[in-house]
A and B are shown apart, each in its own frame.
Chain A
């Protein structure tokens, strides 16, 4: 079945550091790929998405490129801020049918000033 594997956390960085959170997936067909963010005490918010190979999703300085050849969707940001501290989830949804999201285990990111 479909699955998502994320880089294990927690990840701790200093402000203005470069961020990469790795995400790889296993899926049949052509899934859509997502990054969700969960701030402390809140629900999940969509951060960015890509629906086909070579698409780049971007939002709030974060980027991720849908790489079909390596089945990856790594999240990157050039200069992180304290306010980026949160838990990040990589997810996929099936290409066809109902929107059943399959999530990775989440990566907790802490940014120190």
Chain B
């Protein structure tokens, strides 16, 4: 098992550019989510999915889109990057939506100039 994988590890964008952060898990987990980590603020939930074809917004969804066409993959799209989106992004997954352990990927460090 590779667990939760994320690509790329590092990315630098210019304001207005678009990109997709990739997340994949090989544990057949139903639940997947995206968080961003900013200094002094812990992690905040961006979007989450309770299964293929189902997504919903978290605490800070603006500027981000997601889709879940397969159980394994949960990409995060930035349509027009802004400096406020400079952050470290973590993907997580868990077996079910209720009270099961969430497993985190290694993160993507994004800088928007």
Q: Which residues of A contact B (CB under 8 A)?
A: 4, 6, 32, 36, 42-46, 49, 51, 89, 91, 93, 96-106
Tell which of A46, A93, A99, A106 has the most Cβ of chain B within 10 Å.
A99
Across the interface, A45 reaches (CB within 8 A) one of B44, B50, B104, namely B104
Q: Which residues of B contact A (CB under 8 A)?
A: 4, 31, 33, 35, 40-45, 48, 50, 56, 58, 90, 92, 94, 97-107
B43 A100 Cβ-Cβ under 8 A: no
The main secondary structure of chain A at its interface with chain B is strand
* Neighbouring B residues of A32 by C-beta, 8 Å: 99
A105 B31 Cβ-Cβ under 8 A: no
B99 A106 Cβ-Cβ under 8 A: no
CA A91 to CA B48, docked complex, whole Å:
17
A103 B99 Cβ-Cβ under 8 A: no
* Cβ of B90 to closest chain A Cβ, rounded Å: 6
A42 B106 Cβ-Cβ under 8 A: yes
A46 B102 Cβ-Cβ under 8 A: yes
Tell which of A36, A46, A49, A100 has the most Cβ of chain B within 10 Å.
A100
B56 A98 Cβ-Cβ under 8 A: yes
